[in-house]
Structure 1
Amino acid sequence: MSFPAVELRQVTRFHGARNTGVAALDGVSLACPAGTWTAIMGPSGSGKSTLLHCAAGLDQVTTGRVVLAGRDITTAPDGVLTEMRRRTIGFVFQNFNLIGSLTAEQNVAFPLRLAGIRASRKDVRGVLGSVGLADRATHRPRELSGGQQQRVAIARAMISRPAVLFADEPTGALDSHSAKVVLELLRDMVRGAGQSIVMVTHDPAVAASADAVVFLADGRIADRLDGPTTHQVADRLARLES
């Protein structure tokens, strides 16, 4: 894409009435270049999750504009947003959001089924193989570890080849080894497939895997690091929290 993967233009998001409510986002402008990985960090209550939800069209902004994969979705109807979620964007969350009654391969194929696309078993098994779970295709979530469930969730996001992947604390429920595997998979999506990732995390080591880290405080962008290291991220975050 020649345009940013995600762009927020002077976005505000109020919870409650405009004059008496709380501003979760206060005049945020942010452009995430296509084919890059952007991490969003900040103290508790800084607006991280609200920014992610607004950028993905899960939450409507109060003022400002949101442009996703070159399309202004600020006032897009539900039907358009639903179609974009099926074809243009993917989601990975901390709690995996797998369907317990379905096998790993059925969970991976589910978004395509919703979009009316018949996924071949070869394609589904192929994407499970790419996340190291070819031998777990017929297992249900309860038969998988947390790290394996998250890899299934990533495979589910990968199957439709989304232009933008939104990740909310994707390693938050994982042990260090599983987290490392997941981060390597996300990096491969950017480096190998040219996809874009916007990720919320509280972990400096996880954020340091991204190309850039954007820091929020009180609903505003407070800082930015390009090519971050774990030490730099931890230092900036500590300053904001103090």
Structure 2
Amino acid sequence: MTAPAGIQWQQTEARAPAAVELRGVSRHYGGKHAQVRALDDVSVAFAQGSWTAVMGPSGSGKSTLLHCAAGLERVSAGQVLLGEHDLTAAGDAELTALRRSEIGFVFQSFNLIASLTAEQNVTLPLKLAGQRVSAKAVRRVLASVGLDERRRHRPRELSGGQQQRVAIARAMVTRPRVLFADEPTGALDSTSARQVLRLLRELVDGAGQTIVMVTHDPAAAASADSVLFLSDGRIVDHAHAPSAAGVAERLARLEG
């Protein structure tokens, strides 16, 4: 189903409270005479315990939506709510604290520190946040991604899929309200990608984790509960319980 022009899509089928919500969010770049509207009056709520994939053609605003929702970019207009926190009203210090405690990030490039072991990489967010490091908690989160026995290995001693699982464990160690993932399987082979997607599915189904994921891969999107399609900075379509074929067809229509 395609939203009429000028109407933004609201995920009303999810009855759980919103973990993160965008209300009339716009993000503009450039000056008055050469302005690019990366996001244009976007309103959407991501329910707690849900997994949403965000798709669209190149330049449609996918990554900008993710960055604004996660407080990595300031919005030009509108409001971003992370639970009870208003990110648009938060100062830099509060945003930094929220990103360390309430928000998890996973990116296409694993961003692991090469000189540190898997265990030390996972521990790093806790140390940066000034929190007490529980060795038991770190081992537990590494065990949850199937890497307890590799905890003393450095990134160069791990496969791409294993490195991404370390990155997921690092994001999850603070028990974030929302996990944001930007092309988390983009640098992986098909087998490793499937393993990572199964892990994300387990986090949602078993731990009630909320995930918002940007992807270009219909198969990855089909692992999510729902898919939002963006074009020219607006939400133009939505699919619940998506199939890879259905996602690919809708994406092809947008790119055509």
State if a TM-score over 0.5 links the two structures: yes
* Structure 1 stretch displaced more, 16-25 or 193-202: 16-25
Map of 1:70 onto structure 2? 84
* 3-state SS in 2 of match to 1:92: strand
- Deviations 1:184-221, CA, capped at 9 Å, x for gaps: 11111111111100000000000011111000001111
Give the counterpart letter for 1:183 in structure 2: L
Residue of 84, 95, 99 corresponding to 1:81? 95
- Residues 145-224 of structure 1: pairs in structure 2 closer than 5 A: 145-224=159-238
Structure 1: segments with no counterpart, 5+ residues: none
Q: Does 1:92 align with 2:106?
A: yes
* 3-state SS in 2 of match to 1:5: strand
Map of 1:144 onto structure 2? 158
* In structure 2, distance between residues paired with 1:215 and 1:222: 6
Q: Does 1:35 align with 2:45?
A: no
* In structure 2, distance between residues paired with 1:4 and 1:151: 26
Q: Does 1:8 align with 2:25?
A: no
- Deviations 1:31-67, CA, capped at 9 Å, x for gaps: 1111100110000000000000000000011011111
* 3-state SS in 2 of match to 1:76: coil
Q: Which runs of 4+ in 1 moved over 2 A?
A: none
* 3-state SS in 1 of match to 2:18: coil
Aligned length: 242
Give the counterpart letter for 2:128 in structure 1: L
Give the counterpart letter for 2:84 in structure 1: G
Give the counterpart letter for 2:123 in structure 1: A
* In structure 2, distance between residues paired with 1:225 and 1:18: 35
Give the counterpart letter for 1:209 in structure 2: S
* In structure 1, distance between residues paired with 2:62 and 2:39: 9
Q: Are the aligned partners of 1:208 and 1:233 in contact in 2 as well (CA < 8 Å)?
A: yes
Map of 1:112 onto structure 2? 126
Percent identity (aligned): 67
* Structure 1 stretch displaced more, 134-143 or 205-214: 134-143
* 3-state SS in 1 of match to 2:137: helix
Map of 1:58 onto structure 2? 72
- Deviations 1:7-44, CA, capped at 9 Å, x for gaps: 11111111112453100011111111111001100000
Q: Does 1:124 align with 2:134?
A: no
- Deviations 1:69-93, CA, capped at 9 Å, x for gaps: 2321113111111111111110000
* In structure 2, distance between residues paired with 1:91 and 1:220: 23
Residue of 19, 22, 46 corresponding to 2:60? 46
- Tell me the TM-score normalised to structure 2 length: 0.92
Give the C-alpha shift of residue 120 in structure 1: 2.0
Give the counterpart letter for 2:179 in structure 1: L
Q: Are the aligned partners of 1:69 and 1:164 in contact in 2 as well (CA < 8 Å)?
A: no
Q: Are the aligned partners of 1:3 and 1:70 in contact in 2 as well (CA < 8 Å)?
A: no
Superposed CA RMSD in Å reads 1.3
Give the C-alpha shift of residue 145 in structure 1: 1.1
- Tell me the TM-score normalised to structure 1 length: 0.97
Residue of 13, 34, 37 corresponding to 1:20? 34
